[in-house]
Amino acid sequence: MKLVEVDGTEFVEGGVCAAKGFRANGICCGLAHKPLTGTENTAAADNALPNSGKKRDLALIVADKECTAAAVYTTNKVKGAPITVTKKHLETGTAQAVIVNSVNANTCNADGIEKAEKMCELAAAELGIAPEKVIVASTGVIGQVLPIEPIANGMKALAEGLSYDGNPRAVEAIMTTDTVPKEVAVKFSIGGKTCTVGGMLKGSGMIRPNMATTLTFITTDADISAELLQRALSDTVKVTLNRVSVDGDTSTNDMVCVLASGTAENTPIKKENADFDAFECALYAVMMNLARMMARDGEGATKLIECAVTNAPTEKTAEIVAKSVICSALFKAAMFGEDANWGRILCAIGYAEAEFDIDKVGVHIASDKGDIEVCRNGAGVEFSEEKAKEILSEEEIRILADLGQGGGAAVAWGCDLTYDYVKINGDYRS
């Protein structure tokens, strides 16, 4: 899918390894498959390609030096054990490594905290750092005991395989029902110094605009205080990950964290100024594109749907309306069928919990195949069904809703609802 450019930034390769001083790796330790044995248990075998049948399930990201750090977590009342441990570790606003596994969420387990802490201890021992400097995350099936033995047995190979171009292995290791890896990085300038922000994300199902269902890991070589790093992350989550929906479910293990090493040697960002704005813009570029990737790779999805609301009474109203549209199961099903049933769009706008005059609303449907008006002043207008079908045949669809009553605007992202979504979730544990 196409990346969306943001002024002041330029896309670069490398994901979480794009920023200076970050290494990563991912291996198959055997959480879902039998671990490699005998002569096969080598670094080359651990780095086997996905089609080898040995999907990676354990990832490590490490900075060359201690970083300022920030995170945002799920709002679900049920929280995975790694969330609790990471929150405690980040009380100092610093970290140096991230250890993460897929397959098993380590959630709703009596020994969950113990296992999450053990993962940090195992990683720290190999890296020669304190366990409190390790962020831990898990994703996968909820309510199954996490076996720590495969993780312990694989930790040495995981650490030994760390490299400054190890991001592809790490991003594969965090995938669950994801069908494609999701990573992006940008470079930008602060005071004449080139800085980089890079990130990787997993997320395909159990996605709702409420921190979304995702594990997202971001690295940067910019020098920024922990307080402002947290502020930039919290602000950016609201207009990126919190505006994605696949199926309306909010997970238990959602986490987005960012490590800032300061190795770009820019003037330290300690107050909200032009440098802070430049950093936040770059962070937005990475997280917005990751959010779009997540929506496009929704379980069973064939289309990315973007709903852009303009001329709303307030930005919050625009956000509520945009989310209402992308969350509508009836609308999402219509998009799968390439059916310009605009009444479902207006219906979803109408039940949005915000105050505005529905009789002033206009709606266009657009894609790279064109733009067609389907509603004006709250009522339908004549349009070519044939042209609408052509527009909806594209992979990326845009719903443009003009509320005609203010200057507020917002964008949200979702996907179509297909037969495959039910099939995937009908046998998720198998």
Instruction: Tell me the C-alpha distance between 78 and 60, whole Å.
Output: 25
Helices (H), 297-341: 315-327, 329-336
**Catalytic choice (74, 176, 213, 250):** 213
Residues forming a β-bridge with 47: none
Residues forming a β-bridge with 196: 187
Q: Are 282 and 264 in contact (CB under 8 A)?
A: no
Long-range CB pairs of 370-377, under 8 A, 24+ apart, other chains included? 371/400, 372/340, 374/340, 374/342, 374/345, 375/342, 375/345, 375/346, 377/404
Q: Are 20 and 261 in contact (CB under 8 A)?
A: yes
Q: Are 70 and 229 in contact (CB under 8 A)?
A: yes
Residue with tokens 């990737």: 293
Q: Are 23 and 164 in contact (CB under 8 A)?
A: yes
- Taking residue 426's Cβ as centre, other Cβ atoms within 10 Å add up to 8
Classified as helix, coil or strand, 52 is helix
Classified as helix, coil or strand, 342 is helix
213 is catalytic: yes
Which residues are identified as catalytic? 213
